[in-house]
């Protein structure tokens, strides 16, 4: 497993429609007209989120927030297959290949980004093409709007891997779809298909893949037309107490999580998951 690394982005103050590549090679930011940025994740084969990816996303968001010309951001996938993100890289969770200290660093980095995203002054849209479990679902839940393709599915499926759902990730789903519905989904570890996700309010629309980014741009543009200071202040009033509680809590989670990750039963489940993923990765990716 690679050593911890930091991904940073250059300034986004270039002209509209310009694209910038990050030193984190899997993340690019493109500025579109109207103050809208598109952040694309493209770490083949499934956008597995390791420490560098979470830090890269955080650096990208900080850079965009620092540019007063940017009003909205869309997060999307540039993968060949229909996956938004398969969630956390299992090597970051597999105890025999990591350490308690590395896991704590990883955990703090990802939650720092998620809290930043949830309270961001920017209008935020998750354009979800295909599967969106675990960490990918967390990114989506932290966004203001979520659009999904018809074949997509999303959920916090950690229970299926023998891992507890992170407390504030689960609470956030409850804020989106209601506590009772969220509890049923979380305790079963199931993935929610696109049609049901729309019915529950987990996503704001189901859009064919060929129109996904176009629709995301339209939603972002509509949000960007609102007076930005008033919109950002209202968002902060609605979310700041939750975000502050989340920030106070997540540094305490690694010890709790590590107990599960280092247990023989969880290690066995993760080994099985990695074998299945390795087998799938050897097959040719479907053509889009």
Q: From first to last of its 288 residues, what are the pLDDT tens digits of the chain?
A: 333 333 433 333 334 445 554 567 899 999 999 999 999 999 999 999 999 999 999 999 999 999 999 999 999 999 999 999 999 998 999 889 999 999 999 999 999 999 999 999 999 999 999 999 999 999 999 999 999 999 999 999 999 888 899 999 999 999 999 999 999 999 999 999 999 999 999 999 999 999 999 999 999 999 999 999 999 999 999 999 999 999 999 999 999 889 989 999 889 888 888 888 776 655 444 332
Cross-strand pairs, 111: none
Residue 73 lies inside a defined structural domain of this protein: yes
pLDDT at 152: 96
Task: Please tell me the distance from the alpha carbon of residue 208 to that of residue 129, in angstroms, as a whole number.
Answer: 9
For residue 58, which of 136, 132, 115 has the smallest C-alpha distance?
A: 115
Task: Please tell me the distance from the alpha carbon of residue 18 to that of residue 162, in angstroms, as a whole number.
Answer: 43
What CATH number does residue 258 fall under? Answer: 3.90.226.10
Residue 164 lies inside a defined structural domain of this protein: yes
Residue 1 lies inside a defined structural domain of this protein: no
DSSP characters for 129-142? -SEEEHHHHHHHHH
Q: Structural domain tally of the chain?
A: 1
Residue 214 lies inside a defined structural domain of this protein: yes
Residue 226 lies inside a defined structural domain of this protein: yes
**Beta strand residue intervals within the chain, DSSP E:** 19-21, 27-32, 36-41, 48-49, 72-77, 87-88, 123-128, 131-133, 145-148, 153-155, 192-193, 205-206
Q: Which residues constitute the domain of residue 254?
A: 19-281
Residue 27 lies inside a defined structural domain of this protein: yes
**Beta strand residue intervals within 53-204, DSSP E:** 72-77, 87-88, 123-128, 131-133, 145-148, 153-155, 192-193
Task: Compute how many other C-beta atoms are within 10 angstroms of the C-beta atom of residue 124.
Answer: 24
Angle at 152 between CA 157 and CA 94, to 5 degrees: 35
Residue 266 lies inside a defined structural domain of this protein: yes
């Amino acid at each position: 497993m690679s050593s911890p690394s930091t991904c940073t982005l250059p300034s986004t103050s270039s002209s509209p429609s310009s694209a910038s590549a990050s030193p984190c090679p899997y993340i690019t930011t493109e500025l579109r007209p109207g103050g809208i940025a598109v952040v694309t994740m493209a770490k083949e084969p499934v956008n597995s989120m390791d420490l560098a990816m979470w830090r890269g996303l955080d650096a990208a968001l900080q850079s965009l927030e620092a540019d007063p010309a940017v009003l909205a951001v869309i997060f999307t996938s540039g993968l060949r297959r229909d996956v938004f993100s398969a969630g956390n890289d299992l090597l970051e969770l597999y105890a025999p290949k990591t350490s308690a200290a590395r896991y704590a660093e990883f955990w703090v980095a990802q939650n720092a980004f998620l809290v930043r995203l949830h309270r961001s002054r920017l209008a935020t849209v998750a354009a979800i093409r295909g599967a969106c479990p675990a960490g990918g679902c967390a990114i989506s839940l932290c966004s203001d709007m979520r659009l999904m393709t018809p074949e997509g599915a999303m959920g916090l499926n950690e229970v299926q891997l023998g891992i507890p759902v992170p407390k504030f990730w689960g609470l956030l789903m409850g804020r989106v779809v209601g506590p009772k519905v969220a509890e049923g989904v979380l305790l079963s570890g199931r993935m929610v298909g696109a049609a049901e996700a729309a019915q529950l309010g987990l996503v704001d629309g189901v859009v064919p893949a060929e129109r996904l980014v176009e629709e995301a741009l339209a939603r972002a543009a509509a949000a960007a037309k609102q007076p930005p200071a008033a919109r950002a202040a209202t968002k902060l009033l609605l979310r700041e107490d939750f975000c502050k509680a989340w920030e106070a809590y997540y540094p305490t989670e690694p010890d709790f999580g590590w107990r599960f990750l280092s247990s023989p039963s969880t290690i066995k489940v993760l080994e099985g998951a990695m074998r299945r993923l390795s087998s799938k990765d050897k097959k040719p990716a479907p053509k889009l």
